[in-house]
Chain A
Amino acid sequence: MNLDPKWVPMKWPCGPLEWARRNKTKGVGAELKETLEAWAQPAALDLLKGTPVNCLVVEWAEGAPEDSAQQQALKPLLEAGRRLGISFVGKVAAGEGVATVVASARAAGLAAVMLAEPSGPSFDLPVISQFPRDKVAWKSATQIFSSMDNEWPGVKLDTMQGDTAIAGPTGVPWVNSNAWFSLLSDELARGKTRWLDFDPPGESSVAHPANYALAVADSQAYGSRWIISLDDHLRTALLKANPQATAVWSKTCETVAFFESHREWEQFQSQGILAVISDFLGDNGSLGGEVLNLLNRRQVQFRVMERSKALATPTPGLKAILWLDKDAPAADQLGKLLAFVRQGGLVIAAAYWGPSGVTPTNKDPSLDYKIYNIGQGQIAVSEEGFQDPYQVAMDAHLLVSSRNDFVRLYNPEATNCHCSFDPVHKRRLVQILNYSSSAASFVTLWVNIRARSARLWSPRARDSHSIPGLPAAPGTDFNLPTIPVNCALEVEGLNL
């Protein structure tokens, strides 16, 4: 059996191991104990009927005394699940005896194990490697890999720490999103399937802690999959067929089904006017990650490029390059970068490595950059280097200029969007996500081309419908209907 990229994963916390683990930290009340026991029963799988969920992640072994009891307790669930076509992935903690544990998982009929140790002996059961988000071994990551320490997406409410504002000075809502990490992963682990591991917040630090649909959309719109994880209260309420809980679950599944019905979008290429180039290793990785996060929050349309592979192929539509690393480009890349500049492109860098004898200018007092005019383009060099990711992202946004935007959102509130492109069929897709707990209304999507209409897709509607493009000067406005969580526009009649 191989890892199946079509798996739709969900955490299925249950059994003695889960109970023991929780007991160690905060204690388990009678109701939760009942829930953990009930979810180990085959009847609990009724919840999945008619949903796209087809892969359950269960605790299998963590070197605890309860491991054996856990594996015994799961047997009926595994058997019932297999009959329903559900695959199981067992989480196995690192440690001695992993090979034995993996063998037990294989014997029990698990489809794969999820291991925290990326390197180790090979097993006769497929492995999903799991990493902390800042320590992903991109090259050795398995075909499906998982990252931990991700954010629960949504608007962050606690934007003040004492007297210090942690919201952006522009008043833009501070949005938590894993989008940047998905875009980074897409480049550094191309062709591999990413499972984002994050749980609902225990104590609300986001506007709508129960917005599971957004957790799905923020992952899948950017090509990742969220390992669906329900909070204990919701799982208990679902057991009791609480109508509110059922509605939350239905909405979550509706959003998952929406993306499942548009799997082709995962093959579309991210569109960007700015390429962010780095090796994303060590300090470069820390800076790069935060810059990507902030660029995304500023709604800059960017593409991630790993340094060794960057510019190997033509990059149509690219207007600027942010060369994040302190290191100067290698000779062959330098040639490509300078060619890009000479043809009118902009390169933003922390140090100057262009041709000698060019005298820099700085005509914009709001930017501490030296501008080197070379051919038709420019190299903009930060006078202080790249120290503060916030400043780097803000400056890059200004230097690239809104003149080059592919898309913009008006009345965006807490919405953001992701542009991708199908080079085969020449389709442009704009996915719009609403990170607020309130539905977004009166949002206008502007695109930089003339387009008569667009197909609007939303999780609520089974079919798309056409909405008219209104001529703007320049470009086209699309007035969007109310957006509860997400929607997508496929712009038609393009002259790309």
Chain B
Amino acid sequence: MMTSLCSRRKFLGAMGATAGVWLARPSMFLARPAPAGRVAVAMCPDYGPQVVTTMAAMFDQLGGLEGLVRGKTVAIKLNLTGGPFDRLGYIPAGMTHWVHPEVVGATVHLLGQAGAHRIRLLESPWSTAEPLEEFMLKANWEPRDFLSAAPRVEFENTNYLGSGKKYSRFMVPGGGLMFKGYDLNHSYEDCDVFVSLAKLKEHVTAGVTLTMKNCFGMTPCTIYGDGSPEDEPGRVPMGGRGPFHTGNRLPSKSAPPLVDRSGSKEEGYRVPRVVADLVAARPVHLGIIDGIHTMTKCEGPWVPGCHHVNPGLLIAGRNCVSTDAVGMALMGFDPMADRGTPPFETRDSTLRLAEQLGVGTRDLRQIEVVGTPISKGRFDFRRA
């Protein structure tokens, strides 16, 4: 099923080496051109058995998963924003603002089939330290489905210390745009491969929610939450991420300090920078976007005026900036757009900022799109 222009080994080797340089030699990356990645696009009209086969074909198009995950611990950051009881009208969350459980199940299954040693499902559910399985159950998901999809599947709520002994520190190569680094749950360090599994949707603050913005939810609200203690991390997460959004207060002092001294309290300035920092500090090895069913206008049903749509799209790529660029193009946006242009009318482009940090390119001319061409799969979110 490979349709690549370069060999699989060469492709994966290049990606691994690039990631290593970012972490090991942060000062060098700014001088390098942002890496490009191949991005697979597929039409998948609905959820069901075809999700697994479609995704399997997409991963093959990317060079296969085996070389990436065999014998490795894979962490998957899910996109489960908001509370478990939130619905857009009567529609379950997986059909609108959450990644659908069948896409999660298919991903876990295919990673397991490719030889992943351990798969950890991660999310920082809204303002709670409850186990991630409990959060899923409240949304009427069945965590056992994921446990049976592959060997050694684990869950972790990363909104607090969790099962770790201490937080893991991720410094942003080059010094960071908003903070010098970020303290995260151990699961983001205790993995060999990191996957961001996101929904194809717009975002009121960041313009788009794709694989990069999904990583905003890695940050524990015990440190970065509205109710986190001043000095040390709290025991349980309290509230949302006001310290990031509006700078209404600083994170707990135990975390790496602020570097942006502009004093801007504007969310559209702050949030994209935090996101770009995060994906630079904690590189994404595989980005997957569920655009089969989703919603327009915003990231969740709490924003008025949004509605359910069915673009019937799946997107996957090895570089998160490139993957999001293709995602934006499929949504009818120009990935080269920046503040003032949709979807970034009142906000900075996370893609541009991440590109500047050397994470990847958003220039479609440099991105190899395999599978469904963008022109064929485009679903205009602003006209839907």
Contacts and interface: CB of A to CB of B under 8 A. Distances in A.
In the complex, the 7 A-B pairs of residues with the closest C-beta atoms, listed nearest first: A366-B129, A402-B137, A479-B90, A402-B138, A410-B87, A442-B89, A169-B238
Contacts of A479: 90
B341 interface: no
Interface string B122-164: 0000111111001001101010000000000000010011110
Interface residues of A, number: 26
A350 to B, nearest CB: 20
A210 interface: no
Given A402-B137, A408-B140, A366 B157 contact: yes
Nearest to B301: A411
A364 B87 CA distance: 28
A411 B129 contact: no
Contact of B87 (A405, A444, A475): A444
A475 B140 contact: yes
A97 interface: no
A126 interface: no
Contacts of B90: 410, 442, 444, 477, 479
Contacts of A157: none
| Main DSSP-derived SS at the B contact region | loop
B140 A401 contact: no
Interface residues of B, number: 28
B227 interface: yes
B87 A398 contact: no
A402 B134 contact: yes
A473 B142 contact: yes
B178 interface: no
A366 B140 contact: no
Nearest to A409: B85
Contacts of B45: none
Interface of A: 165, 169-171, 364-366, 398, 401-403, 405, 408-412, 442, 444, 446, 472-475, 477, 479
Contacts of A477: 90
Given A412-B85, A442-B90, A366 B138 contact: no
A424 to B, nearest CB: 31
Interface of B: 83, 85-87, 89-90, 92, 126-131, 134, 137-138, 140, 142, 157, 160-163, 227, 236, 238-239, 301
Given A411-B86, A479-B90, A366 B131 contact: yes
Contact of B130 (A366, A412, A444): A366
Contacts of B89: 442
Contacts of B126: 170-171
A408 to B, nearest CB: 7
Most buried by B among A403, A410, A442, A477: A410
A472 B162 CA distance: 31
A432 to B, nearest CB: 14
Nearest to A402: B137
Contacts of A402: 134, 137-138
Contacts of B301: 411
28 contacts: A165-B227, A169-B238, A169-B239, A170-B126, A170-B128, A171-B127, A364-B131, A365-B162, A366-B130, A366-B131, A366-B160, A366-B162, A366-B236, A398-B134, A401-B137, A402-B134, A402-B137, A402-B138, A408-B85, A410-B85, A411-B86, A411-B87, A442-B90, A472-B140, A473-B142, A475-B140, A477-B90, A479-B90
Nearest to A394: B130
Given A442-B90, A477-B90, A365 B134 contact: no
Contact of A403 (B92, B137, B227): B137
Given A365-B162, A366-B157, A442-B89, A473 B127 contact: no
Given A169-B238, A473-B140, A365 B128 contact: no
A474 B139 CA distance: 11
A407 B301 CA distance: 22
A197 B129 CA distance: 39
B140 A169 contact: no
Nearest to B141: A473
Contacts of B236: 169, 366
B85 A474 contact: no
A474 B157 CA distance: 23
A442 B140 contact: no
A472 B227 CA distance: 36
A442 B87 contact: yes
Contacts of B163: 365
Given A171-B83, A410-B92, A412-B85, 18 more contacts: A165-B227, A169-B127, A169-B227, A170-B127, A170-B128, A171-B127, A171-B239, A365-B161, A366-B129, A366-B157, A402-B137, A408-B138, A411-B86, A411-B87, A444-B87, A444-B90, A446-B140, A475-B140
